[in-house]
Chain A
């Protein structure tokens, strides 16, 4: 591979938006047969760079080369036809259409008079699906597939053209471990064929497992490239955030209080079975397990979104039934949901209104909502949680992920819960803000809340929890104390390897 022209090369790309220099003289290249990771915090410019490459944005300055040829990308179709293919992070599929139609979206094979050539379409699609070793065929409706299989459809798209470079944007976000392996095989195949691969991910294990080289962006600027084998997690993180990150455990010594929540033999159909645990005030209980192990479903049951088929829930020593979120809130349980943007926030509303949403009924002066009371509440939690926003009028959608998450947490804290459930507290939040959220969770426990943290990230669970409940396929396998737990025994427990 010496003296080979890069599969894809960007040179001195500048892109300015009103008020922000999103990309400042960024250069980047991928060789054929190389898996090249592109890393950076949210807002570092990765997505902008990819949009430039995909023809969705036009750069203000700079050059794009595919192979040896300098080129421009006027629109997504052009970039695809030049052999630059994207696997998008957010699934962009038409669910009502068939797999084949999605795979060849925008390029359905034609017969005369603009008719679709169904036979060719299905044969070609099935050939691609065979390569991917998936268990569905071209005629399946995409809406009937699991998220992971939908991701495979997305990948199948990349194989329809003679790709020179394939860009994977957070491809494993919704995949199980087994599915990840299939994906890595696909990436390996592409690599063998001499395709240049850009791999965007926050997940360090993956970066070290499959990439050859890493390039880092920070604040729209290129920070440099290193061979993956010459670097480690710590120095990469440092490149990304520009300072050292304290990765030690956020433990705060304090007394545990009474049992706030006790769950006994709780079951819900096939989703989870005979789950028992308790959480004390001042304690963080982590739930760790694979996607589909039943963690989120337990949280949803506690918040009244699902009804258990058997078992009991005790809050502060009293057996209760929770039929709806309103019940849950009244009994002192709050849930910070997994899907922050979809379930946690009204993105178009301002900070204050999001924060006061659950209790705006109580903040009235006569028939009107009291502006003063709302602002006072917002100010209180802004200071307490260190929410960085220009003011309460700021639209929540414009805040960073970390600050958005703090707004959601503040919203629920203001309801004075006994038990706070946080589902995936740092999903989609950049490395720097992650540790702040972790610190915040520890502080909440220290202040006497009983906190349940559900997470798919092992370092996170290890870092914030006093005890860790390991889930495997609907069973609570074992509850570890902080002293007992190691990465190894935790992995074994969630893979169903220990009795």
Chain B
């Protein structure tokens, strides 16, 4: 009984242990290898790290929900780019020209609604056709990306609004705007998944869909709602990010889906659904960002970073499997 308890603790806390190990490793290695005078665990550096985690992190929260529900969404990177363009372009709309800074909330709202709508479209197709979410969102990933290129070809879409930039770069209580958004999203979605009927039903559907159907849970609407949530979060991520940068490159957000899924899986969410935690996903996001930043800190280049993250992902899943195998009872075939 007791070892069971320890095992559970190890499983749920593993990602945070991993983060601590990373922090120690990079701090020590940084002393010898880094050209920078600053320590790795410098407060500014860590705050920046959290801010940089936000774009992936906000989407990863949504991905956790969708994956717990037994689906996946590959189109998040494309929704991210579309929402960015919508944000910047809608601030130029003639109807808003007399509104001054009020244009900002209007543009935010439009971009977020577009994100929800694109997610809803994914969800509706998955619900009504019964086609696997992987295939549906693979299609919409290509389709939505096509829309991005149709809008402005290979050219970036730019529109800097200085009020918006000031807002995005602000640090309230020392913490960056993007980090505040990430924190809020984590809290709200964690609460939804843990304490609401919708959240619990999402777990049940992902765990055993037949059981959910037999119990009279309406599987389709729940799935659609979750796709709308991830669409909203992908757009929110874009809105926060592009408020500051003010320029969308048509290739922006590509491979986001893979980074997001990596973070979610690292946080222990099952690919098959039914199990996963928002808080652990946050851990996964931070762990990846630490790794990227830390390896940079000790002088590794981007390709090395990718190689290491790939290896670690496989190692983590292997360890997880070992922890989940039920003792020696497991048949080896």
Contact = CB atoms under 8 A, between A and B. Distances in A.
Contact of A106 (B217, B328, B333): B217
Interface string A113-129: 11110100000000000
A325 B333 contact: yes
Contacts of B203: 94, 96-97, 101
Contacts of B332: 305
A114 B204 contact: no
B275 A96 contact: yes
A114 B208 contact: no
Contacts of A157: 215
Contacts of A116: 195-197, 200
A77 interface: yes
Interface residues of B, number: 24
Contact of B212 (A75, A106, A300, A325): A106
Interface in A268-293: 269
A114 B211 contact: no
Nearest to B8: A141
B131 interface: no
B197 A110 contact: yes
A434 interface: no
A94 B197 contact: no
B274 A106 contact: no
B210 interface: yes
Interface in B218-242: none
A108 interface: yes
A106 B331 contact: no
B270 to A, nearest CB: 8
A305 B333 contact: yes
Contacts of B274: 94-97
Given A101-B200, A115-B197, A92 B211 contact: yes
A306 interface: yes
B333 A80 contact: no
Contacts of B11: none
A105 B215 contact: yes
Contact of B214 (A76, A78, A114, A118): A76
A92 B210 contact: yes
A324 interface: yes
Contacts of B216: 75-78, 80, 106-107
B81 to A, nearest CB: 32
A97 B214 contact: no
B252 interface: no
A78 B200 CA distance: 21
A105 B196 contact: no
Interface in B160-196: 195-196
Interface string A74-94: 011110100000101000111
Interface in B270-305: 274-275
B275 A324 contact: no
Given A80-B216, A300-B331, A94 B195 contact: no
A118 B211 CA distance: 21
Contact of A94 (B207, B331, B333): B207
B198 A114 contact: yes
Query: Taking each of A88, A106, A305, which has the highest tally of chain B beta carbons within 10 Å of its own beta carbon?
Result: A106
B204 A105 contact: yes
A39 to B, nearest CB: 23
Given A92-B208, A97-B203, A305-B331, A86 B197 contact: no
Interface in A386-415: none
B230 to A, nearest CB: 19
A93 B197 contact: no
B187 to A, nearest CB: 15
B99 to A, nearest CB: 33
7 contacts: A94-B208, A96-B203, A96-B274, A96-B275, A101-B203, A105-B217, A116-B197
Interface of B: 195-198, 200-201, 203-204, 207-208, 210-217, 274-275, 328, 331-333
Given A94-B211, A106-B201, 12 more contacts: A75-B216, A94-B203, A94-B204, A94-B212, A101-B200, A102-B211, A105-B204, A105-B211, A107-B216, A114-B196, A116-B200, A305-B333
